[in-house]
Structure 1
Amino acid sequence: MGRISESLLQDILAKTNFISLYQDKMRLTRKGGKWWGLCPFHAEKTPSFSVDDQRGLFYCFGCQKGGSIIDFLMETDKLGFFEAVEELAERADIKIPAHEGTWNERDDKEELERSSLLGLNEKLASTFHWLLMNHETGKEAKEILLRRGIPETAIKRFSLGYAPADITWLHRFLTGKGYSPEFLARTGLFASRNPRFPLFADRIIFPIVDQRGRYIAFGGRLIRGDGPKYINSPDTL
Structure 2
Amino acid sequence: MAHFQPSFLDEVLARTDIVELIGRHVELKKSGSNLMGLCPFHHEKSPSFSVSADKQLYYCFGCGQGGGAFQFLMEHDGYAFPEAVEYLAEKAGLEVPQETKQDHGDEVRQKRDYELLERAAQAMNKALHGELGGKAAAYLQQRGLPADIIRDYMLGYAPPGYGFMKRLFGSDSATNSRLETVGLVFKGEHGYGDRFRDRLMFAIRDRRGRIVGFGGRVLGSGEGEAKYLNSPETPYFHKSDLLYGFSEHRDTIRKSKQLVVVEGYMDVLALASHGLKIGLAPLGTAIGERQIREIFRLCDTPVFCFDGDRAGRQAAWRALERMLPLLKAELMPAFLYLPEGEDPDSLLKQEGGEAFARRLKEEAKPVLETWLHGLKLLAGQGAEGRARMAKKADTMLAAMTDSYLMQAWRQEAERSSGIALQHRRRAAVTDVASEPAARADIVLNPVEDRFMAGLMQKPARFLQLSGAAMEFFVDNPAIHALYSRAFSMQADAETETIDIARQLIRECPADQNMISRWINQATVHDIEYKSLLLDMEANDIRCRIRQGLSLGESVQLQKRLRELQAQQQLLKEQLIDTGA
Higher strand share: 1
Q: Take 1:157 and 1:86, find their aligned partners in 2: how far apart are those partners? A: 25
- The structure richer in helix per residue is 2
Matched, 1:115 2:111: yes
What's the CA shift for 1:91?
5.6
Q: Which runs of 5+ in 1 are unaligned?
A: 17-79, 93-102
**8 Å contact 1:168–1:196 — kept in the other structure?**
no
Identity of counterpart residues, as a percentage? Answer: 29
Q: Displacement, 1:153?
A: 2.4
Provide the rounded CA distance (Å) in 2 between the counterparts of 1:131 and 1:111: 30
Q: Is the 8 A contact 1:187 1:236 kept in 2?
A: yes
Q: Distance in 1 between matches of 2:101 and 2:84?
A: 10
> 4+ runs of 1 displaced by more than 6 Å?
80-83, 176-179
Distance 2:144 2:205 in 1: 23
SS class of match (2:215): strand
Task: Please list, as runs of the form range in 1=range in 2, the aligned pairs for 1:32-71 lying within 5 A after superposition.
Answer: none
Write the deviation string for residues 87-131 of structure 1: whole angstroms up to 9, x where unpaired.
Answer: 237569xxxxxxxxxx796x6221122111110111111111111
**Alpha-carbon separation, structure 2, partners of 1:2 and 1:140:** 47
The answer to whether residue 197 in structure 2 is matched with residue 201 in structure 1 is: yes
Matched, 1:166 2:161: yes
CA contact (8 A) 1:171 1:196 kept: no
1:151 aligns with one of 146, 165, 189: 146
- Give 2:168's aligned amino acid: F
Q: Larger relative CO (CA 8 A, sep 6+): 1 or 2?
A: 1
Matched length:
157
1:127 aligns with 2:99: no
Cα distance, 1:170 vs structure 2: 1.7
Q: TM-score, normalised by structure 1?
A: 0.55
The normalised TM-score by structure 2 is: 0.24
SS in 2 for 1:188: coil
Alpha-carbon distance in structure 2 between the residues aligned to 1:90 and 1:144:
45
> In the superposition, relative to structure 1, how do residues 175 and 138 fare at CA in structure 2: closer, same or farther (>3 Å)?
same
Letter of the 1:230 partner, please give it. Answer: Y
Note if contact 2:117-2:182 (Cα within 8 Å) is conserved in structure 1: no
Distance 2:174 2:229 in 1: 24
Distance 2:178 2:218 in 1: 26
1:75-114 equivalent positions in 2, closer than 5 A:
84-85=86-87, 87-88=89-90, 108-114=104-110
Report the CA distance shift for 1:148/1:184 in structure 2 as closer, same or farther (over 3 A). Answer: same
TM-fit CA distance, 1:85: 4.2
Partners in 2 of 1:145 and 1:190 — Cα distance? Answer: 25
State the Cα RMSD in Å.
3.7
- Aligned match of 2:211: 215
One-letter code of the match for 1:236?
A: P
Gaps of 5+ in 2: 5-12, 23-81, 95-99, 237-580
Structure-2 separation of matches of 1:148 and 1:193: 35
Question: Which one-letter code corresponds to 1:214 in the other structure?
Answer: R
C-alpha change, 1:191 and 1:206, in structure 2 (3 Å) is same
* Aligned residue in 1 for 2:390: none
Cα distance 1:116–1:81, how it changes in 2: closer, same or farther (>3 A)? same
CA contact (8 A) 1:188 1:233 kept: yes
Alpha-carbon distance change, 87 to 150 in structure 1, aligned in 2, over 3 angstroms: same
Please say if residues 206 and 218 of structure 1, whose CA atoms lie closer than 8 Å, have aligned partners that are also in contact.
Answer: yes
Task: Find the partner of 1:233 among 225, 231, 234.
Answer: 231
Which one-letter code corresponds to 1:231 in the other structure? Answer: L
Counterpart AA for 2:230 = N
Per-residue deviation, 1:187: 2.0
CA-to-aligned-CA distance 1:31-72 (integer Å, 9 cap, x gap): xxxxxxxxxxxxxxxxxxxxxxxxxxxxxxxxxxxxxxxxxx
How far has the Cα of 1:2 moved from its partner? 7.0
State the match for 1:139 in structure 2: 134
Aligned counterparts, 1:23-34, within 5 A: none
1:15, 1:88 → 2: CA distance? 14
Contact in 2 for aligned 1:188/1:236 (Cα 8 Å):
no
Q: CA deviation at 1:177?
A: 10
Provide the rounded CA distance (Å) in 1 between the counterparts of 2:142 and 2:210: 29
Which residue does 1:15 correspond to in 2?
21
C-alpha contact (below 8 Å) 2:202/2:214 kept by paired residues: yes
Q: Partners in 2 of 1:178 and 1:81 — Cα distance?
A: 28
CA distance in 2, matches of 1:211, 1:82: 14
Amino acid at match of 1:229: K
Whether the 8 Å contact between 1:167 and 1:198 is mirrored in structure 2 is: yes
The residue type equivalent to 2:165 in the other structure is: L
Q: Does the 8 Å contact 1:206/1:220 carry over to 2?
A: yes
Structure 1 residue identity aligned to 2:136: A
In structure 1, the residue matched to 2:277 is none
SS at match of 1:15: helix
**Displacement, 1:86?**
6.2
- Going from structure 1 to structure 2, the CA distance change for 1:178 and 1:109 (only over 3 Å counts) comes to same
Residue type matched to 2:203 in 1? P
Whose radius of gyration is greater, 1 or 2?
2
- Residues 128 and 136 of structure 2 are in contact (CA less than 8 Å); yes or no, is this contact kept in structure 1? yes
The DSSP-based 3-state class of the residue aligned with 2:225 is coil
